[in-house]
Amino acid sequence: DTGVSQNPRHKITKRGQNVTFRCDPISEHNRLYWYRQTLGQGPEFLTYFQNEAQLEKSRLLSDRFSAERPKGSFSTLEIQRTEQGDSAMYLCASSRRGLADTLKGTGELFFGEGSRLTVL
Amino acid sequence: DAKTTQPPSMDCAEGRAANLPCNHSTISGNEYVYWYRQIHSQGPQYIIHGLKNNETNEMASLIITEDRKSSTLILPHATLRDTAVYYCIGGRIGSSNTGKLIFGQGTTLQVKP
């Protein structure tokens, strides 16, 4: 399967612990996005990379959150000193940005299955 | 990005057409209308997108009004597997396009046998 892969799928942790999620995008995709989704709500944008550059961060991304994409391939999202309010599904998506995309506006994001975080 | 308004929930009988409406009265000229769906416990899945003209693919049809203030996603023969939350999203194109999509709360479609 060559879709977006996220690990771990489920993580239960105690408040105050650090957690890290990994996302492996579709190999030829140069854009990568992180979203967070709480129960009953739509996904909320957190941050976005084009290749290895982090180009946009939401105000939702507090200083306890850090995302990296060191070689422009996989990405990690780390949450330090977790709080119960961090409990959510963390979704990763990737897409391909090219000149043609700006003309066609493909806008097709390919999402992974998500990593569900439960903070006790 | 355009704000979209969708009904919170809809029911549809299996085998019938499901017509999901979306209002996007503030959509600008360079914004496409995208539709995604999310089946329980899975990531969102792209369905279709359009700018001005009606669009059709293997999953659905998208009908956009001439003034572009609203659209309808049509699933021609709904099955139980189409039960999901459906999101209508306005997304910008152009050189500044980040590809970022802003999701609302969507419409929960329940397909009933």
Largest interatomic CA distance in chain B: 46
Give mean pLDDT, residues A108-119: 94
Across the interface, whether the CB atoms of B97 and A101 are under 8 A apart is answered yes
Confidence label for A95 from pLDDT (cuts 50, 70 and 90) = confident
pLDDT at position B95: 47
pLDDT at A1 over 60: no
pLDDT at position B96: 56
Across the interface, whether the CB atoms of B93 and A113 are under 8 A apart is answered no
pLDDT at position B65: 94
Put the strands of the sheet holding B18-23 in their side by side order: B18-23, B70-75, B61-64, B55-56
Put the strands of the sheet holding B9-13 in their side by side order: B9-13, B107-112, B84-92, B31-38, B45-50
Across the interface, whether the CB atoms of A113 and B43 are under 8 A apart is answered yes
Give mean pLDDT, residues A20-37: 94
Half-sphere exposure of B21 (CA within 13 A, CB side): 8
In Å, how far is B95's CA from the nearest CA of chain A? Answer: 6
pLDDT at A44 over 70: yes
Q: What is the DSSP letter of B5?
A: B
For B23-78, the pLDDT digits (tens) are 998 888 878 899 999 998 899 999 999 988 899 999 999 999 999 999 999 999 99
Residue B4 token pair:
């979209």
For A47-78, the pLDDT digits (tens) are 999 999 999 899 888 899 999 999 889 999 99
